[in-house]
Amino acid sequence: MYVRYVEQGTTFLSVLRQLAAADPERPALTYGDETLTRAEFVQRVEGLAALFASHGVTEGSTVTIGRPNSIGFVLSMFAAWAVGAVPNPISSRLPALERAAIVDLAEPALVVGVPPAESGSRPALEAVPAHLPAGEFTPGVSPDWKLMTRAGAPAGRS
């Protein structure tokens, strides 16, 4: 088991960059028959973080993620952390009414993995693009690990 301790205030993104620099071709994430190397993972996280920032996501804002378990889900979580946002993962199998209620309560800056019609007036990405060009964003430190929900209501930040 590999355990690495980091200093308080160290970002996920800085650790990912260090790991990618140390061994860029080492597998970082595998789901089904798709594997991303460390270098590919960092590149995709940074591209998605820039896309999130272009939709108004900033340090401390919430990003609701309704993607099924997938590489896109993991990328979305890390992209939110990269800009310093708080991920709010929700089940992709929720009924539209319950999903809309959570989105209303969480007040996210961006909703990912939910049809735009169900995100209200909030910016939405229905899917994580396969090709993410490099873009600009300001890395941040999330004030909370995640915002979880229970029975359709935010349970609190942790």
- C-beta separation of 87 from 63 below 8 A: yes
pLDDT at 130: 86
Which residues on adjacent β-strands are paired with residue 62? 86
Indicate whether 73 pLDDT > 50. yes
Most confident of 98-102, 107-111, 125-129, 140-144: 107-111
Length in residues, the chain: 158
Q: How confident is the model at residue 157 (pLDDT cuts 50, 70, 90)?
A: low
What is the rounded average pLDDT for all residues in the chain?
88
Lowest mean pLDDT among 20-29, 60-69, 124-133: 124-133
Angle at 113 between CA 59 and CA 10, to 5 degrees: 30
Q: What SS3 class is residue 87?
A: strand
Q: What is the distance between the alpha carbons of residues 14 and 117, in angstroms, rounded to a whole number?
A: 35
Q: Which residues contact 97 (CB under 8 A, 6 or more apart)?
A: none
Q: At what angle do helices 38-54 and 12-22 cross, to 10 degrees?
A: 150
Q: How confident is the model at residue 121 (pLDDT cuts 50, 70, 90)?
A: confident
Which is more confidently placed, 79 or 3? 79
Q: What SS3 class is residue 127?
A: coil
pLDDT at 124: 92
pTM comes to: 0.88
DSSP assignments along 17-30, one per residue: HHHHHH-TTSEEEE
**What is the number of other CB atoms lying within 10 angstroms of the CB of residue 1?**
2
Q: What is the distance between the alpha carbons of residues 47 and 45, in angstroms, rounded to a whole number?
A: 5
Q: How confident is the model at residue 64 (pLDDT cuts 50, 70, 90)?
A: very high
